[in-house]
Structure 1
Amino acid sequence: MARPKHKLTNAELKAKAPGKYSDGGGLWFHKRKDGGAQWVLRYTSFGRRHEMGLGSYPSVTLKTARQEAEKWQAVVRDGKDAIRERERQRRDAERNLHILRDIALDAFESRKAELKGDGKAGRWFSPLELHVLPKLGKMPVAQIDQRDIRDTLAPIWHEKADTARKALNRLSICMRHAAALGLDVDLQAVEKAKALLGQQRHQPQHIPSMPWQEVPAFYQSLTGGTVAELALRLLILTAGTRSKPIRFAHLDQIDGDVWTVPGPLMKNRKGREVDFRVPLSSEALAVIEQAKPFARDGFLFPGVRKGVISDMTLSNFMKRQGSPYRPHGFRASFRTWCDEAANAKFEVAQAAIAHVTDSAVVRTYRQTDFLEQRRALMERWASHLTSQPRLLEFPANA
């Protein structure tokens, strides 16, 4: 004969004296001496008796306790231990509640070794920090779908196209990172969001570069002898050097007519920090001599109060001169001069601007940075810069 169920009523629960009372079906009501009470489910699994707490009364009502008891008894009838199954479900739920911000920070931490300077500049993380995490950061990563991503990036998809693409790329990395952690995420959500966002209208603007024929006139106009002008002259003379190595140029890096730029200052991918040797022309060495009196703590181009000049110092100087061009563009000016006027070998010209052109296998066997050939090329470039210049004219709307 089956044991009767639902022995208890709501009316008598509060009046019960301390003790344990069966409601049937393995559900028990335990009234404590302090007046508190809780629900307990008794069941037998694999020949062993277990007691499973179902919550306190009255937070868990009689009706809810009966529903929970029936649910877990069904689990026992399926041959599973109810307590272990509940713990498994709880772990799965907690695992899938990881929010995007935590995943993004963990993904960033895992990739620091690949990033320049361990990502301290923040350029890898900033697209997420500024445009994704404010809206999706507190959302469980398992719940993020293509519509959430589309709605988040739509405001900048056309107006800030490059930033939006970077944010989408970083988000894709975060989703793959979450999947690697064992989280249940939609790995296609980013691609589907991209399809929903559509083609971007914005066309990327390349950094304007000064025609190589006009560079001598500009170079020869830098006669003020200020730190900014000297730094700009050295940047132009060394052609392949970006503004950061110039700003952080240190006397200890210079040995004779070779300036060795430390790997962390170079723009490298996949965490490769390789020192770059720069042959210094006679003109470049003369500029360095002029800069030495300004040196502070060994840095050739110190800032006004501390550190070195900022990354905008050189650009702002050119703006004040009315120039539509920017310092980074002198790399293109030099590279075009190599092709049109110097007839330089392709590999040597590329090496001069620190561009990698060969595969990793070829680079392994080609153990040269063309230093001697670049030394001759840089002397020719310096001669061009100090030759009779063409009249320098900037556009009227610059």
Structure 2
Amino acid sequence: MGRELNKLTALSVKNLGAGKHADGGGLWYHKRPDGGGQWVLRVTVHGRRREMGLGSATDVSLKDARAEAAKWRAVARQNIDPIKERERLKRDAARHLHLLEEIAEDAFKSRKAELKGDGLAGRWFTPLKLHVIPKLGKVPIAEVDQIDIRDTLSPIWHTKAETARKALNRLSICFKHAAALGLDVDIQAPEKARALLGQQRHKATNIPAMPWREVPAFYSTLADESVTHLALRLLILTGVRSGPLRFLHESQITGAVWTIPGEAMKGRKGKTPDFRVPLSEEALLIVEQARKLSREGFLFPSVKRGVISDMTMGRLMERAKLEARPHGFRSSLRDWIAEATETPHDVAETMLGHTVGGAVERAYRRTDFLEQRRSILAQWAKHVAGKTH
């Protein structure tokens, strides 16, 4: 048996051609035509041959592959299926993720693919990190009940209502995750806590918006061609959110179309299409003026480095003693569309980058109404710039 083992060398593994190559003792290296490879262990259990993947050659060295093969051959000699045993050990390990903090982190990892940018901004996890984990993170989740949750969230239930609501919703996901791992948890504990916490006094309020008839007067005050004035003017003309606008790069503009990368669109999950924004003549004039002030291709740079902050435009409106805020111009545009035009609902919602219809409907509707939106934004630009008669 000794002579049959360790036939390969680290160097030969790199230079082998495509095919299946034996190292001995049931350990094989499957080399693909593209140069990649996979370690596979062949064993026989109860008269049945089993092939067990041990990982790719990129991640697992020849030395480690031999160690793994020896471990699982020993299991097979006990007439135990090594593949089933490995799965059993994984399940046992998962059951040891018992602290609420560990469960929350594991639940977050399993949902990253569903979140915008894989959740890198941290917004999904932040309510738990700030308001739940400091108090309950080291407690086994099986021991956490509705009283614990109520006592943890009650200090912010009314004062930070939206954050508290998000924290409770995330906790509910964590409890379901723990139950899926086989832990003995009360999956209804978060909902019971919600009942104990009662109705929130705080009511969500919309961001103040400027009535669309007042927009031209405000637009006319943005006349000094500074970065802030130019950014606000383009924000008003296009109806986009401030995030994509602040990070507007010259490479995103082709002709009279500004293409916002899909990952920059709020609320978009996974792989999403880019969003095209038609630019009116007025908007193109602003783009040309902004190019003179650009830095590293970004049209709206800050004074020192990077791009203007999210608060820059808001502070300008505050100093003007206006109740409305920059984000509210999206509502101004939407109200103008509803009251001053006969735009179909789907086109109006697409104007703001909103998702329209269900998944099946969207799969069959391939248009983004670009030309219809171009015409509408041209009309909006005339209204905003005071060029209507």
1:200 corresponds to = 200
Aligned: 1:371 with 2:370: yes
How many Å apart are 1:343 and its aligned residue? 2.2
Contact 2:248 2:298 in 1 (8 A): yes
Alignment deviations for residues 319-370 of structure 1 (CA, whole Å, 9 cap, x no partner) = 1121111111111110000011122222211111111221111111111010
Identity of matched residues, %: 63
Equivalent-residue separation in structure 2 for 1:290 and 1:94 (angstroms): 58
Equivalent-residue separation in structure 1 for 2:358 and 2:92 (angstroms): 44
What TM-score do you get using the length of structure 1 for normalisation?
0.72
Equivalent-residue separation in structure 2 for 1:152 and 1:274 (angstroms): 40
Contact 1:234 1:284 in 2 (8 A): yes
2:230 corresponds to = 230
Equivalent-residue separation in structure 2 for 1:207 and 1:127 (angstroms): 22
The 4+ residue runs of structure 1 with deviation greater than 4 A are 91-94
What TM-score do you get using the length of structure 2 for normalisation?
0.74
Contact 2:230 2:286 in 1 (8 A): yes
1:60 corresponds to = none
Equivalent-residue separation in structure 1 for 2:345 and 2:272 (angstroms): 24
2:187 corresponds to = 187
CA RMSD of aligned residues (A): 1.9
Instruction: Pick closer, same or farther for the CA change 1:138–1:229 going to 2, 3 Å.
Output: same
Equivalent-residue separation in structure 2 for 1:315 and 1:361 (angstroms): 39
Contact 1:98 1:140 in 2 (8 A): yes
Equivalent-residue separation in structure 2 for 1:115 and 1:340 (angstroms): 35
1:259 corresponds to = 258
Instruction: Pick closer, same or farther for the CA change 1:235–1:145 going to 2, 3 Å.
Output: same
Counterpart code for 2:223: T
Instruction: Pick closer, same or farther for the CA change 1:162–1:176 going to 2, 3 Å.
Output: same
Q: Secondary structure at the match of 1:187?
A: coil
Aligned: 1:299 with 2:320: no
Alignment deviations for residues 139-161 of structure 1 (CA, whole Å, 9 cap, x no partner) = 11111110000000001111111
How many Å apart are 1:235 and its aligned residue? 0.7
How many Å apart are 1:270 and its aligned residue? 3.7
Contact 1:230 1:287 in 2 (8 A): yes
Alignment deviations for residues 219-268 of structure 1 (CA, whole Å, 9 cap, x no partner) = 111112111111111111001x1010001101000000000000111013
Instruction: Pick closer, same or farther for the CA change 1:314–1:92 going to 2, 3 Å.
Output: same
1:276 corresponds to = 275
Give 1:49-64 correspondences, 5 Å limit. Answer: none
How many Å apart are 1:163 and its aligned residue? 0.8
Aligned: 1:318 with 2:312: no
1:286 corresponds to = 285
Alignment deviations for residues 60-112 of structure 1 (CA, whole Å, 9 cap, x no partner) = xxxxxxxxxxxxxxxxxxxxxxxxxxxx9xx9899467211111111112212
Equivalent-residue separation in structure 2 for 1:345 and 1:95 (angstroms): 53
Instruction: Pick closer, same or farther for the CA change 1:275–1:97 going to 2, 3 Å.
Output: closer
Give 1:20-39 correspondences, 5 Å limit. Answer: none
Equivalent-residue separation in structure 2 for 1:378 and 1:317 (angstroms): 24
Give 1:1-398 correspondences, 5 Å limit. Answer: 95=95, 98-239=98-239, 241-387=240-386
How many Å apart are 1:386 and its aligned residue? 0.8
Equivalent-residue separation in structure 2 for 1:283 and 1:138 (angstroms): 58
Contact 1:96 1:184 in 2 (8 A): no
Instruction: Pick closer, same or farther for the CA change 1:383–1:97 going to 2, 3 Å.
Output: closer
Equivalent-residue separation in structure 1 for 2:202 and 2:325 (angstroms): 21
Q: Secondary structure at the match of 2:292?
A: helix
Equivalent-residue separation in structure 2 for 1:378 and 1:388 (angstroms): 13
Equivalent-residue separation in structure 1 for 2:217 and 2:161 (angstroms): 36
Contact 1:245 1:261 in 2 (8 A): yes
Equivalent-residue separation in structure 2 for 1:157 and 1:326 (angstroms): 26
Alignment deviations for residues 189-243 of structure 1 (CA, whole Å, 9 cap, x no partner) = 000000111111111111111100001111111112111111111111001x101
Counterpart code for 2:276: R
- Size of the aligned set, in residue pairs, is 299
Contact 1:97 1:142 in 2 (8 A): no
